[in-house]
């Protein structure tokens, strides 16, 4: 019969070997938990696989030195203990591990072919699409800041509206996409600025970017309840005519 008495007879430091083993095990489990809570489940699986393999190799090679009758007896004892630990991890983190294969995947694009003329205005727009196989819930696009050469940086930190003026969070199902409005240019106004109509709660947050040869850079991000934040930038050159906005 194999026992774990060999832990108290470690040839390196007999009195501290059990503590060292316990610390190593706790460090491994703690690192795995941190990776999970950071949404990096793939790295967790790799870490656990490497850790389990290393423990099995050590127990097989050094088992007889620690008091086990044979290499395989030591390996079987340690493997049984590890199997119990893995079963507990699977029970606790089942949903996170399932998301390794099934999860939403957000793609964003802002291109000139998305611009649209409607109601006497040119609309500068972008698209958010879910390329994954699970819904992306409570999605919203936020304008974080506006920068440009010879332009004082602004930080609106406000949400952009979805097509049709919808100021709400949206759920994107697999292969579904939604258009969001960056701004409009009024054809009835000479040299119209790009008018950005964002919001915070029920309060409007507006900005007007004047036409000029220099560019503006918009820093935006897509947020959702079950997706990591997806930052992206849009660089614009706003010319004099309402239909002349270059997306670089």
Helix (H) or strand (E) holding 33, with range, is: helix 17-37
Whether 201 has a pLDDT exceeding 80, the answer reads yes
Instruction: Compare 208 and 25 and report the one with higher pLDDT.
Output: 208
Count of structural domains within the chain: 2
| Domain end point (choices 72, 98, 124) | 98
Quickly count: other Cβ atoms within 10 Å of residue 134's Cβ.
17
Q: Does 119 share its domain with 234?
A: yes
The pLDDT tens digits of the residues spanning 38-76 come to 545 555 566 666 666 666 666 656 555 555 565 555 556
- At 7 the pLDDT is 45
Considering the domain architecture, whether residues 27 and 144 belong to the same structural domain is answered as no
Same structural domain, 208 and 132: yes
Predicted confidence at residue 14, as pLDDT, reads: 40
CATH code for position 210: 2.60.40.10
Residues 85 and 111 in one domain: no
**Percent of the chain's residues with pLDDT above 70:** 60
Q: What is the overall mean pLDDT for the chain? A: 80
- Of 128, 101, 109, nearest in space to 41 by CA: 101
Residue 49 structural domain = 5-98
Tokens 């992206």 — which residue? 232
The more confident residue out of 207 and 2 is 207
**pLDDT value of position 10:** 46
Mean pLDDT for 90-106 is 68
Q: Clarify whether residues 68 and 114 are in a common domain.
A: no
Tell me the helix, strand and coil percentages in the chain, rounded to 5: 35, 35, 30
Same domain, 205 and 116: yes
The fraction of the chain above a pLDDT of 90, given in percent, is 57
Do 154 and 226 fall into the same domain? yes
The pLDDT assigned to 31 comes to: 61
Q: What is the pLDDT of residue 27?
A: 59
Same domain, 20 and 63: yes
Domain end point (choices 80, 98, 116) = 98
Looking at the fold, whether 200 and 78 belong to one and the same domain comes out as: no
Same domain as 112, residue 38: no
SS3 sequence, 41-108?
HHHHHHHHHHHHHHHHHHHHHHCHHHCCCCHHHHHHHHHHHHHHHHHHHHHHCHHHHHCCCCCCCEEE
Same domain assignment for residues 69 and 125: no
**53/61 Cα distance (integer angstroms):** 12
Is 90 in the same domain as 39? yes
Q: 77, 98, 119: which is the final residue of a domain?
A: 98
Residue 111 pLDDT more than 60?
yes
State the pLDDT at residue 155.
96
pLDDT of 230: 93
């Amino acid at each position: 019969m194999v026992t774990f008495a060999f832990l108290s007879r470690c040839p390196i430091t007999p009195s501290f070997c059990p503590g060292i083993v316990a610390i190593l095990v706790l460090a491994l489990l703690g690192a795995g938990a941190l990776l999970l809570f950071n949404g990096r489940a793939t790295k967790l699986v790799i870490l656990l696989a490497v850790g389990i393999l290393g423990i099995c190799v050590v127990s097989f090679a050094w088992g007889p030195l620690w008091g086990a009758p044979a290499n395989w007896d030591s390996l079987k004892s340690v493997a049984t203990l590890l199997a119990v630990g893995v079963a507990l991890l699977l029970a606790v983190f089942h949903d996170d591990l399932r998301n390794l294969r099934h999860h939403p995947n957000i793609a964003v694009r802002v291109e000139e072919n998305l611009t649209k003329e409607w109601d006497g205005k040119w609309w500068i727009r972008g698209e958010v699409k879910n390329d994954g196989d699970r819904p992306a819930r409570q999605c919203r696009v936020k304008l974080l800041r506006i920068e440009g050469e010879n332009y004082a940086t602004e930080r609106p930190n406000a949400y952009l509206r979805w097509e049709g003026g919808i100021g709400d969070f949206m759920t994107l199902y697999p292969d579904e996409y939604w258009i969001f409005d960056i701004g409009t240019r009024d054809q009835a106004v000479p040299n119209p600025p790009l008018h950005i109509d964002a919001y915070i709660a029920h309060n409007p947050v507006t900005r007007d970017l004047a036409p000029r040869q220099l560019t503006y850079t918009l820093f935006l991000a897509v947020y959702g309840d079950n997706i990591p934040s997806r930052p992206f930038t849009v660089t614009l050159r706003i010319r004099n005519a309402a239909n002349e906005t270059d997306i670089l």
